[in-house]
Amino acid sequence: MGTISEEFGGNGALAFADYARQNQLNISQLIVAEPTLCGPIYAHKGVMGLSFRVHGRAAHSSTPEQGQNAITAAARIALAIEHEHQRLQAIPATTALGPAVVSTTMIEGGVGHNVIPDSCLISVNRRLTAFEEVDATADHLEASPVPPARCR
């Protein structure tokens, strides 16, 4: 039995291959636990994660106009990420990997129901295709236009 563990560093596949070699195991069957129509694949999209910290100004929820809501501003980033995903899907794929994808995967913020949040963290997952460079892709996402972040 083996596991790939690609969600947390991908070391599971390498460890299993080493184990099989060291123990001279002859693998005659394979369970493919990915959406590949039950066939092994020769390539996989890369992955990178980004986090954006959004700063606002706290206020009491009875007077939200006195603050700047960091969660509302982060929501604008999430919408910009969705727009970027749609843009990526419109680009014809040049390899069997298909188009690149990007999505907002987590959002954290706020301290209570009666406080306009002054801080919010938004996490983004970007799947890279062949020939994309991590630094250039990160720079592009960080420089992408976002609707005005000043929110109430």
Model confidence over 76-112: pLDDT tens digits? 999 999 999 999 999 998 888 889 999 999 999 999 9
Model confidence over 42-57: pLDDT tens digits? 677 888 999 999 999 9
- Whether residue 149 is contained in a domain is answered as no
In this structure, are 93 and 29 located in the same domain? no
In this structure, are 7 and 76 located in the same domain? no
Q: Which residue range forms the structural domain that includes residue 14?
A: 1-41
Helices (runs of H) and strands (runs of E) counted in the chain: 3, 5
Predicted pLDDT of residue 80: 92
**Counted domains in the chain:** 2
In this structure, are 7 and 67 located in the same domain? no
Q: What is the DSSP letter of 115?
A: E
In this structure, are 74 and 138 located in the same domain? yes
In this structure, are 90 and 107 located in the same domain? yes
In this structure, are 2 and 28 located in the same domain? yes
Q: Say what the pTM is.
A: 0.71
Rounded-to-10 torsion of CA 52, 55, 58, 63: -90
In this structure, are 31 and 72 located in the same domain? no
Burial class (CB in 10 A: 0-12, 13-18, 19+), 88: middle
- Whether residue 15 is contained in a domain is answered as yes
In this structure, are 93 and 60 located in the same domain? yes
